[in-house]
Amino acid sequence: MSAMDFDEENNHEMTPLVQALCQQIGRVSFHMPGHRQGIGFPYLFSPGLACLDTTELGGTGDLAAPSGHVLEAYRLAAQFFGAKESWIITSGTTASIFIMMAGPLREGDQIIIPRAVHMAAVHAVAVLGLIPIFVDSEEDKTFPDGQPNTQSFIETIERYPSARACFVTRPDYYGRTIDLAPIAQAAHRLGMTLLVDEAHGAHFAAAPDLLPATALAQGADITCQSAHKTLPALTPASFLHISRAAIDNHRIDHERVSQMVKIFQTSSPSFLIAATADAARSMVACEGHDRIKYLIRQNADLCEKLPDHYRRVLPTDADPTRLVLDYSATGLDRLHFLSVLDSAGIDAELVDSNRVVFLPALDQSEEDYRRLSETLRAIKPETDQRRLTQHQDKLDSLTAQRDKLLSAPAGFELTVRQSLFGRRDFVQHAGKNIATQTIAPYPPGMPIVWPGEIISDEHRIYMNMLEAEGIAQRGVPLSF
């Protein structure tokens, strides 16, 4: 390193994060957060960000011990989302997932859970010392993106009646949903609680006639939603909801949830973030239906005008406000496709090897849609048939491998807790190929290897394939 490099590195006038954020100004956001740089509620920011950042005062209240106007905000949220009780959690759905699991479960309890859940759920399992029972696919069958169907959940519940809870992600990152009602029935019959990670579905309650039913409406006991993903709240605002039936039937205890909020949430929750969750609830309750209708129409109009080398991915019961396009027939590889969007100043939520996920905000402008449409239509597809076939073969192989690994049965050598938090000598003794972190492409953060599982050659080959696609991964061992 030269002296000049060193000086550059220690120049404290530099504010790299501020600069990086400023460079985002003017780009077209088709990703989280849903408030799009505060456009969603300019009135809230007019007094200045710093003035709104405060601690628990008589005038603000305590988010972890709600009374007065905090309780009123929680009551309004519960009323709108169809819960008996709602909380605003200002450290993300990540924290809400910890609270959601800790509410009904105790150390050593079994939880029925798919392999492909957000990393936060894996880490909650570890911290709480739970025993994961993976939802199996029928022999040799795999789940798309590792997301089991309703029947597979029910079969696993019936095979493991001693489990205490069942955990479902609904909708998934691509907006797909499954029918929860029969899962809720099967779980409740055996005294299990149904926990739903509804991080991507906070807007569902606003338009029951246009969108999939909410998890609470389908019998979930406790759910959590990221208010910053599909609603216009600041990152990382989250809602935690408990159903009326769960409280009435003693599947969830209010006092215990309240205790867990105080354990897993910072003791200085951000009122600014909470206020935006409150504002987002108000906005979506008052105007959400119209805006959702508008988004559905914009998405449909855009797709209608797209050439045939784009295919909209919208299976039955998926969320039509999410715009998922399969771009594999363009023949463009992922990095090339990303660079085209980037040059046009457009940021998608997720681009995998064959699909792009655009996450339009409730107030996404017609001008943004026009720019997106023009950019997509300007892409020249590959015409060489041989190269197209080669490209498609590569994608088929990636997809098959992804679904196989994300649907694989568990192969634990150590418990999730031991491998993450156990004594170093104990973990080393167990073997060098055992994962000591969650290994997952990010986003969406669904693990191909849970901590405590063996990293096989098949995993290594797949990780290499992802690397070649330029897909970021979390938890890949340094020695890899």
Ligand X SMILES: Cc1ncc(COP(=O)(O)O)c(C=O)c1O
Angle 39-43-44 (CA atoms, 0-180°, nearest 5)?
90
For ligand X, the closer CB: 35 or 188: 35
Least distance in Å: CB of 440 to ligand X? 11
Phi-psi region of 219 (alpha: psi -120 to 50; beta: other; left: phi over 0): left
Of the residues 122, 199, 325, 376, which one makes contact with ligand X according to CB under 6 A: 199
Site for ligand X in 442-471 (CB under 6 A): 444
Residue 477, by phi and psi: left (phi above 0), alpha (psi -120 to 50) or beta?
beta
For ligand X, give the closer residue by CB, 229 or 309.
Answer: 229
Q: How far from 234 is each of 194, 237, 241, 287, 379, CA to CA, in Å?
A: 28, 6, 19, 19, 34
- Binding mask of the shown chain, residues 213 to 232, with x at each position contacting ligand X by CB under 6 A: -------------x------
* Residue 13 to residue 395: CA distance in whole angstroms: 46
For ligand X, the closer of residues 96 and 419 by Cβ is 96
The smaller minimum CB distance to ligand X, of residues 168 and 332, is found at: 168
86-94, 144-152, 271-279, 402-410 -> range binding ligand X (CB under 6 A):
86-94
Positive or negative: CA dihedral 328, 330, 332, 335: negative
Minimum CB distance to ligand X, residue 172 (Å)? 7
Q: How far is the CB of 388 from ligand X (least distance, A)?
A: 32
CA 88/CA 79 separation, integer angstroms: 14
Single-letter amino acid, residue 412? F
Q: How far is the CB of 225 from ligand X (least distance, A)?
A: 9
The residue from 136, 197, 319, 352 that contacts ligand X (CB under 6 A) is 197
Residue for token pair 């784009």: 310
End-to-end Cα distance, the chain: 26
Tokens of 220: 């979930």
SS3 of residue 397 by DSSP:
helix
296's CB contacts (< 8 A; 6+ apart) are 210, 320, 321
Question: Do 391 and 382 form a contact (C-beta atoms < 8 A)?
Answer: yes
Per-residue x/- track, 8-47, ligand X (CB under 6 A):
----------------------------------------
Q: Which stretch binds ligand X (CB under 6 A): 17-25, 87-95, 318-326, 396-404?
A: 87-95
Which residue lies nearer to ligand X by CB, 33 or 452? 33
- 269 binds ligand X, rule: CB under 6 A: no
Closest distance to ligand X from the beta carbon of 73 (Å): 19
What's the min distance (Å) between Cβ of 304 and ligand X?
29
Is residue 39 within 8 Å of 363, Cβ to Cβ?
yes
Q: What is the closest distance, in whole angstroms, from the C-beta atom of residue 280 to ligand X in the complex?
A: 13
Task: Give yes or no for residue 251 binding ligand X (CB under 6 A).
Answer: no
Least Å distance between CB 236 and ligand X? 4
Checking DSSP bridges between strand 323-326 and strand 311-312, what pairing results, if any?
Answer: antiparallel
CB-based contacts of 38, cutoff 8 Å, min separation 6? 44, 45
Residue from 34, 66, 92, 104 in contact with ligand X (CB under 6 A): 92
- Residue number with the smallest Cβ distance to ligand X: 92
Residue 331 or 444: the one with the smaller Cβ distance to ligand X is: 444
The reply to whether 419 sits near ligand X by the rule CB under 6 A is no
Question: Is 145 an interacting residue with respect to ligand X (CB under 6 A)?
Answer: no
Region of 93 on the Ramachandran plot (φ > 0 left; ψ -120 to 50 alpha; else beta): alpha
Q: How many residues bind ligand X (CB under 6 A)?
A: 13
Under rule CB under 6 A, which residues in 159-188 are in contact with ligand X? 169, 173
Residues 104-143 that bind ligand X (CB under 6 A): 118, 120
Rounded CA gap, 113 and 18, in Å? 39
Residues at the site binding ligand X, with contacts judged by CB under 6 A: 92-94, 118, 120, 169, 173, 197, 199, 226, 236, 238, 444
